[in-house]
Structure 1
Amino acid sequence: MAGSYHHSKDDLLRRLKKIEGQVKGIQRMVNEDKYCVDILIQIAAVRAAANRVGTILFEHHTRGCLVTALENNDEAAKDAMIEELVDVIAKFTKG
């Protein structure tokens, strides 16, 4: 199934590239034996940025894919979409 996020694809890719840069920075910090607290702060920033990307995708999924499935009035499809959403939220919030 195609993503409902196509209008935000450039923003998502920009955010992901920034996260990639942050992770590479953390690798450099570890390689250079930087202070643990400084590394932990950077890890927290990566987590926050990744969570934001996930939140954007959740929003697009809910406003696009899920709404479309619900509008089709197919009870089996509705149940499947709700189960999928509950499952992905559980996985996403698992820390």
Structure 2
Amino acid sequence: METENTRHESHCSDSGNRKSHHPDKLKNNLITRLNRIEGQIRGIKRLIEEDTYCDDVLNLIAAVQSALNSVGSLLLENHMKSCVIERIHEGDQEVIDELMVTVKKLMR
């Protein structure tokens, strides 16, 4: 069964520009999540300006970090199912090292 993530179309740029093509559904999902995160960041700034109780600010910071982790997870999954697989099929084994560096950064 063919899905967005298993189609055999190119998701990654062949040129040196290092671009990806995200399916519209994923892109819209990510933009919606990032817009919400952006609003939460503005909320954190406002809370600090208003001298809000630290614990309340810290809880919102934790929510933003969780939301960013979720965005990162979705991007990582799409990257692995498209660009990484595509590059491995093309014989590019360096993509594994690149992916490991990225995963380590995400796990910090």
TM-score after normalising by structure 2:
0.79
Q: How does 1:12-23 map to 2 (within 5 A)?
A: 12-23=30-41
* CA distance, structure 2, for counterparts of residue 5 and residue 44 of structure 1: 27
Once the two structures are overlaid, the 10-residue window that deviates more, 4-13 or 63-72, is 4-13
| 1:71 aligns with one of 89, 92, 108 | 89
5+ residue gaps, structure 2, are: 1-17
Aligned position for 1:93 = 107
Supply the RMSD in Å over aligned alpha carbons.
1.0
* CA distance, structure 2, for counterparts of residue 43 and residue 32 of structure 1: 16
What letter corresponds to residue 11 of structure 1 in structure 2? N
* CA distance, structure 2, for counterparts of residue 20 and residue 64 of structure 1: 27
CA contact (8 A) 1:5 1:57 kept: no
TM-score after normalising by structure 1:
0.89
Richer in helix (by share): 1
| 1:81 aligns with one of 95, 103, 107 | 95
5+ residue gaps, structure 1, are: none
Alignment size in residue pairs: 90
CA contact (8 A) 1:26 1:39 kept: yes
What letter corresponds to residue 64 of structure 1 in structure 2? S
What letter corresponds to residue 103 of structure 2 in structure 1? I
Identity of matched residues, %: 37
CA contact (8 A) 1:4 1:64 kept: no
SS of 1:12's partner is: helix
Aligned position for 2:20 = 3
Runs of 4+ in 1 over 4 A off after TM superposition: none
> Per-residue displacement from partner, 1:5-26 (whole Å, max 9, x unpaired)?
2331111011001000000000
SS of 2:36's partner is: helix
